[in-house]
Structure 1
């Protein structure tokens, strides 16, 4: 794949339903709930160390939405099936981070959940659905960057089939790098 070349461009995220969640394309009225999640310092402690500014959150949100049209994958709004409340975000993306020994152009997995969505297996449910979709549609390997102090995400990565590939430098900070191989035949 050429750097940044689309695999199968889509107009929007496909809707994925799990036992308790709906992963769907973002809508304009999701902005306030999304911003509340990523602005929270405790939620973002392993994603940049602090809550996002409104400006940075806006850019991240638009990139998550627009990636579908350019590279064929992007972010999903993660909502509770029972009431439709936005409780997190889950995405497959290219961040072009310039990590030492980087992994581009392969995609990266990321997810962020509001406090009420954590500790209930919802991240596993959402990321499993996203990875099943990626396997079926693209059949490529995928990476994840996980802070070494983030034990729950390290455990989740193992359950999802990611292998720890060691520490790499991202800017001035060391980060844990994980890889999940492409499915057989993919």
Structure 2
């Protein structure tokens, strides 16, 4: 399937413990609860949402960006509870070339291998289904946990961008990337039935 065909309906990806799915209005409160935590947003570059209504508007923007083929925002949903505990995002697509990767996770879910498991499903989708050549991730040098996750999934550090635009901030930023030719992960991912 081509890049454009991947945007005909939202791709739901299944991992061992999680469904990566489109965010729904019923998810707004959980998203607000974890994304209002300063520790979660400390390295995000944007302010926390003001309230649940702001989150609902954000979900509409995510949906519209998907329809315009600009971004895919997966909510990480526990198979046991169906609650959203984080997100994985591929966006700023240069078709046939590259995308930016970003992600976040509720603080009480840290250090359980959740983000590594989720990204090991999202990245093959980017390379095999979207046919990307490069996936890159920008990370603040102080964000040791995120750097650790990127290195575990084989991303390579390219260098330091000085006072780079990171959300609403200008801060030194490390750039990591993974190229299709370097990718050694799964060639098949499980796209869940709708």
TM-score when normalising by structure 2: 0.77
Contact 2:135 2:177 in 1 (8 A): yes
Residues 132-182 of structure 1: CA deviation (Å, up to 9, x unaligned): 111121221111011101111111111222111111122632111111112
Gaps of 5+ in 1: 1-5, 97-104
Q: Relative contact order (alpha carbons < 8 A, sep ≥ 6): 1 or 2 greater?
A: 2
- Measured in 1, the distance between the counterparts of 2:34 and 2:69 equals 25
- Measured in 1, the distance between the counterparts of 2:64 and 2:33 equals 20
Matches within 5 A, 1:149-164: 149-164=142-157
- Counting matched residue pairs gives 172
**Paired residue for 2:90?**
92
Does the alignment pair 1:67 with 2:73?
no
Q: CA RMSD in A?
A: 2.6
- Measured in 1, the distance between the counterparts of 2:129 and 2:10 equals 12
- Measured in 1, the distance between the counterparts of 2:122 and 2:80 equals 20
Q: CA deviation at 1:117?
A: 1.7
**Paired residue for 1:124?**
116
CA separation of 1:118/1:93 partners in 2, compared to 1, >3 Å: closer, same or farther? same
**Paired residue for 1:135?**
127
Contact 1:10 1:72 in 2 (8 A): no
Q: CA deviation at 1:67?
A: 2.6
Residues 93-150 of structure 1: CA deviation (Å, up to 9, x unaligned): 1199xxxxxxxx7311111111122110000011111111111212211110111011
Matches within 5 A, 1:2-81: 7-8=4-5, 10-48=7-45, 51-54=48-51, 57=55, 60-71=58-69, 73-81=71-79
Gaps of 5+ in 2: 184-194
Greater share of strand residues, 1 or 2? 2
